[in-house]
Structure 1
């Protein structure tokens, strides 16, 4: 058996995804987002989270999926990557589970239209449940991190 990995499970366009709990700061309900000019369309803007300005991305837009209007289930998952806090808009955040690192396979080239570089792998949970593990470092690649850091200034 591999190590146990604690993961936050969230949904995007009928697929389940996972982010390691230790990278997640907090999960927030949708809140008004202040748009920032001259940013890519998937960067929705910034929110004021308890006095801290946090850039917010729409993960659907980031992955090239069709964007949808937020619902009562929509959440902003605040993650920390390299001392930068960023919010991801997701359709819902459902669960915290433990998965065995041995159950994570390398990602296929494309899953649900999402390029493999954004994915860390696919975890098999039971008979027919798959959890797509995100590679946060790629989801926020260096060029975008530079743009996001400029938003915080």
Structure 2
């Protein structure tokens, strides 16, 4: 799998990062989810995992030729908008050694692969769609 760097959330150290691939997918590198209340809200299939990333990370989609990087609706693979203002993104966990060797992924982060079409569909603003599916706060 060949990667094209689109952007990251800061200029120093490791942080959530967005890549485009030659497989018509995006790789989303983000924080592993350890919050049990959040994990219980996710419906992950075998081979899938989820990462948490700042909403601003998707602004880098414009570098892939898209007119906007603003996520306008919450639907798979963007699972929820957390109370902290981050997105939870679900996808196949990346295990490709060549792809992982091209990235700097610290122990507290992981990488998911999602179809480009699934992400770009979230940029649209269809009528009648609930735009804010939020994570339930911990009790």
Same fold? TM cut 0.5: no
Higher strand share: 1
> Which structure has the bigger radius of gyration?
1
